[in-house]
Structure 1
């Protein structure tokens, strides 16, 4: 697979982040920073995004670095809103969207790297422009849109009862 030590660390922490996000989304419909799975997602995503800045097959700034910086911004905004805007129910919409969008963005390199590396010796895809990657990311985007709408509706109901 040809991963460096930083690449292995990045991958393991990234897998933990993705699993915790899935668990949080399944359990509560959101990535809830008040719950253990949400906290694990937040911290592992921070580490994964920061380590991504040290990984590159090409010299200089690349789209992967920009994606990592965007994810860092999204989870930081969500954390700020979670901690500093506790009583502001409108902030929950932005917090929920930021975390879910960061999760979706995290899946872009995850799908690309996984499909281009696994199974070893006969990967599922031949580069980032492979149609299988495009179709998979499109499906994930549709799921992201549906999930965001459901989260918005759920938060709207919560805000009305408070």
Structure 2
């Protein structure tokens, strides 16, 4: 199916669960926070997405996707530490922006893999090095920045809750 291995299919399914959880959390709570079920699903599905991705070597050995997985795990660790108050008064900001950054990281391979595989037989882009993907990544990064600014403003206005996502959302 679409040139995916069994591990690739499992990896893709888990990543879709993570993205669905992110969409629900961002739409409902305006942030991803592990103090609720949706936030926990996002966190664990993202970790599993990274871990299963390490076993995929479609383009040879260790590459950019594997490095992105490592970076994502590091940012998740920062977010978890922030959810425990590990950054003092800035913890909520670090937590919320870090989780949102990992959503941006999810979108890079999602867009790359989708545009280089679909439609079947005539993909939109020839390969992962297509210049259009750099443009798409830039647009997605701008969307992340706008979202992060809105989240920080919401927190500053006192509508973002306590560390660890244990809060009520306005």
Q: Secondary structure at the match of 1:56?
A: coil
Give per-residue Cα distances to partners, 1:67-86, cap 9 Å, x unaligned: 0001011112212322x328
When the two structures are aligned, how many residues end up with a matched partner? Answer: 161
Aligned CA RMSD, in angstroms, stands at 2.2
For residues 103 and 119 of structure 2, the distance between their equivalents in structure 1, rounded to whole angstroms, comes to 24
For residues 8 and 140 of structure 1, the distance between their equivalents in structure 2, rounded to whole angstroms, comes to 24
* Equivalent residue, structure 2, for 1:93: 93
* Equivalent residue, structure 2, for 1:65: 66
Q: Secondary structure at the match of 2:157?
A: helix
Q: Secondary structure at the match of 1:158?
A: coil
Deviation at residue 160 of structure 1 after TM alignment: 10
Gaps of 5+ in 1: none
Q: For the Cα contact (< 8 Å) 1:112–1:133, is it kept in 2?
A: yes
Change (3 A) 1:42 1:114: same
For residues 38 and 122 of structure 1, the distance between their equivalents in structure 2, rounded to whole angstroms, comes to 37
* Equivalent residue, structure 2, for 1:17: 18
TM-score, normalising length: structure 1: 0.90
* Equivalent residue, structure 1, for 2:35: 34
Give per-residue Cα distances to partners, 1:100-119, cap 9 Å, x unaligned: 11110111111100111111
Within a 5 Å distance, the mapping from 1:121-160 to structure 2 comes to 121-158=121-158
Q: Secondary structure at the match of 2:31?
A: coil
For residues 40 and 118 of structure 1, the distance between their equivalents in structure 2, rounded to whole angstroms, comes to 28
Higher helix share: 1
TM-score, normalising length: structure 2: 0.86
For residues 77 and 144 of structure 1, the distance between their equivalents in structure 2, rounded to whole angstroms, comes to 18
For residues 153 and 16 of structure 2, the distance between their equivalents in structure 1, rounded to whole angstroms, comes to 29
